[in-house]
Chain A
Amino acid sequence: EVQLVESGGGLVQPGGSLRLSCAASGFTFSDFPMTWVRQAPGRGLEWVASIKQDVNEKSYMDSVRGRFTISRDNSKNLLYLQMNSLRAEDTAVFYCARDNKLDYWGQGILVTVSS
């Protein structure tokens, strides 16, 4: 059974940093691209970033490029999202999803950026 479990969320002040993790199980992690998606409170879904199996190929949405970094550790079956220079508008539930076709999703983790 495919399982994705996010962790690392919480409350952070504007300008601060946070690193999200996504632990994957139930499939061969190194065979799949992985994706982060976010959803601000009461809003729709927003694709954030994706990383190919080859860790050198990454893509980002414009508003996070240069502030967020997606990475992965295939030996540990872990996906990461390092978030720097956080803004109030980054407040959202962050989901990790398998593949760039987003077939399976984690339960989500809340990130709140507020002073």
Chain B
Amino acid sequence: DIQMTQSPSSLSASVGDRVTITCRASQGIRNDLAWYQQRPGTAPKRLIFAASSLQSGVPSRFSGSGSGTEFTLTISSLQPEDFATYYCLQHNTYPFTFAGGTKVEIK
């Protein structure tokens, strides 16, 4: 199975900060990676697909990069509504695997 490792597992940041979250795959997954945002008590929402493509309707402060085994989600200027948990997912090979998530909290 492909293992997905996400870091950090949590972070504290202020409104306006630039935030970077990293996901590493245990083997190459091309660009078969998506990023999700989950607010408490709600379903996950896809932000980024194909590693770097922005989902329609998602603010442009979110961006993704990477290919192969290393991927990054960047929030260029953190907004109050961005405090949530973020997950990456590899859908290259079954079983699909999510990383453990990054909880972004208010400093």
Chain A positions near chain B (C-beta within 8 angstroms): 35, 44-47, 50, 59-62, 95, 100-108
Contact = CB atoms under 8 A, between A and B. Distances in A.
Contact of B95 (A45, A62, A95): A62
B95 A108 contact: no
Interface stretch (B15-23, B39-47, B73-81): B39-47
A105 B96 contact: no
Contacts, number: 49
Interface residues of B, number: 21
Contacts of B89: 45, 47, 102
Interface of A is mostly: loop
B39 to A, nearest CB: 13
A100 B32 CA distance: 11
Interface of B: 34, 36, 38, 42-46, 49, 55, 87, 89, 91, 94-101
Contact of A101 (B45, B91, B99): B91
Contacts of B36: 45, 102
Which of B49, B94, B96: most chain A CB closer than 10 A?
B96
9 contacts: A35-B96, A44-B100, A45-B38, A45-B87, A45-B89, A95-B44, A103-B49, A103-B55, A105-B45
A100 B90 CA distance: 10
A59 B44 CA distance: 21
B96 A50 contact: yes
A102 B46 contact: yes
Contacts of A35: 96
Contacts of A108: 43
Contacts of A61: 95
Given A102-B34, A102-B89, A47 B95 contact: yes
| Minimum-distance CB pairs A-B, first 6 | A47-B96, A59-B94, A105-B43, A45-B98, A44-B101, A61-B95
A80 B15 CA distance: 42
A108 B45 CA distance: 12
